[in-house]
Chain A
């Protein structure tokens, strides 16, 4: 089983709509969780960390479900500029190092 699994999509979203997607992780001992955004041919950039209680940053909401081992990202009122690939990232914290496991990403296309 892969460490982090995501449905690649694409997720075609009308402008102004809400889109949500999940990713699952395999290591129940994973310590920390992040969502990164990657634009085409650019570097991944941190979108937000995901906390146990869930957290919100503007139009973006992240949730963590440790029992079912998944994290989610919800984007409200989608903008054209939200078109990107969203990478689910998990720190399995193996042997005390800070190695991260990356999903392959959810591709979001916001349509006018």
Chain B
């Protein structure tokens, strides 16, 4: 009963390095989301994908790119990591409908030195 799976769980990068955070869900959800959470800031939406083949910017998209690879997978890429991107990243998914909650993965803790 996996739900939403994120990899890796922890990562340390140097400034300027690139990496991709992976997210997969097995709940047949159409919509997927990437958030970051920083102390005192709450959850902030980076990008979301309402359905396979579509992606849209959220509140804080600068410095990130996303790919909705198929219905199950939604990846987040940092092309040139910066210390300001040190954060905890959560992926979430939901079914279609305004009354549908989102279900979260257990997060990726990313530190950029």
Contacts and interface: CB of A to CB of B under 8 A. Distances in A.
Given A97-B50, A102-B42, A105-B42, A32 B98 contact: yes
Nearest to B95: A98
Interface string A84-105: 0001010101000111101111
A31 B56 contact: no
B100 to A, nearest CB: 6
Contact of A99 (B48, B103, B105): B48
Contact of A44 (B41, B90, B99, B100): B90
Nearest to A97: B50
Interface residues of B, number: 26
A111 B58 CA distance: 38
B42 A98 contact: no
Nearest to B105: A43
A9 B41 CA distance: 15
A46 B103 contact: yes
A46 B43 CA distance: 14
A98 B51 CA distance: 11
A59 interface: no
B40 A31 contact: no
Contacts of B99: 31-32, 49, 91
B34 interface: no
Given A43-B106, A44-B43, A45-B104, 8 more contacts: A34-B101, A44-B90, A46-B103, A87-B42, A93-B98, A97-B31, A98-B31, A100-B102
Closest 8 CB pairs of A and B: A104-B42, A31-B98, A43-B104, A102-B43, A32-B99, A93-B98, A46-B101, A43-B106
